[in-house]
Amino acid sequence: MAPSPERSRAWMDQGTDILDRALAAADDETLLGPTRLEGWTGRHLLAHLAANADALRNLATWARTGVETPMYASTDQRDADIEAGSTRPVPELREWYAASAAALAADLDALTDEQWQRPVRTAQGRTVPATEVPWMRAREVMVHAVDLGTGTEFADLPEGFLQDLSEDIRAKRASTPGDHAPEVSGPPAQVAAYLAGRGDGAGLTTADGSPVPTLPRWL
C-alpha cells in the first residue's frame, strides 16, 4: 500500500537526494566494480535507475494523455536494456541517470489533479492510480542507494520512509502465494532491511518466538 501522494513525492525527492550523494561518494572506478546485488556492477545499477525513470515517465505520459503507454515493452527487453546500458562509460551513465531523474520530476509536476487519478499499469501488471508513481520511484532510489554499497545503509534512510516501506512490503508479500513475511519487531532499519530481503533478521524477534526465516530479495 502506497503512502499518500504528497508523502510519496516527498520520499521520492528525498530519496533522489540520498542517491545523488551516494553516487557522488563513488568514483567512476568504484562503479565498475560489484554492488550488493549479485551479478550487478555499479554500471548495471545506474543503467537500471536511469531506465526506471524513463519507464515511469511512460506512466506519466499514460496519465497525461490517457493513451496506454507501458513501462517496458517486455521483461526481456527491460533486462536487455539494463545489460546494454551496463556497457556504457560511467560518465555517460551518470548523465543519463541525472537527466532521466530530472525529466521524471518535471513530468510529474505537470500532471493535473484529474490526470493523477488515471489508472496506469505497473511492470508487475498491477493497475494503480498514477498517484502511486512517486512511491514506485521512491522505493527504487532509496533502496538502491543502499544496494550501491558506497556507505549508505538502511539506518541512514528516514524512519518514516522505512515504516512506509515495511508496510508496503508486508502487504505485497502477503498477496504473493508462497511469499509470506512473518511479523517481526525490532529497529525500523533492521525490520525494513529484513523484509526487503537485504538482512538476515539478526536482532529481530517474531511474535510467537519462532526463528526468523530467510526471505527472498524484494525489488
Digit-coded pLDDT (tens) for 197-210: 999 898 899 988 88
93 touches 85 (CB < 8 A): yes
Indicate the CATH number for domain 158-219.
3.30.1050.20
Identical fold between 5-152 and 158-219: no
Ranges of the chain with pLDDT below 70: none
- pTM, whole model, 2 decimals? 0.95
Domain coordinates of the chain in residue numbers?
A: 5-152, 158-219
Residue in this structure with the C-alpha cell 484529474, named with its chain if needed:
114
Q: State the Cα angle at 195 between 193 and 200, rounded to 5°.
A: 65
Q: Which pLDDT score, from 0 to 100, does residue 162 have? A: 98
User: Rg of the chain over CA atoms, in angstroms?
Assistant: 17
Indicate the CATH number for domain 5-152.
1.20.120.450
Q: Which pLDDT score, from 0 to 100, does residue 101 have? A: 98
161 touches 73 (CB < 8 A): no
Q: Which pLDDT score, from 0 to 100, does residue 156 have? A: 97
- Which among 122, 218, 136 is positioned nearest to 173, based on CA atoms? 218
Query: What element of type H or E holds 140?
Result: helix 133-147
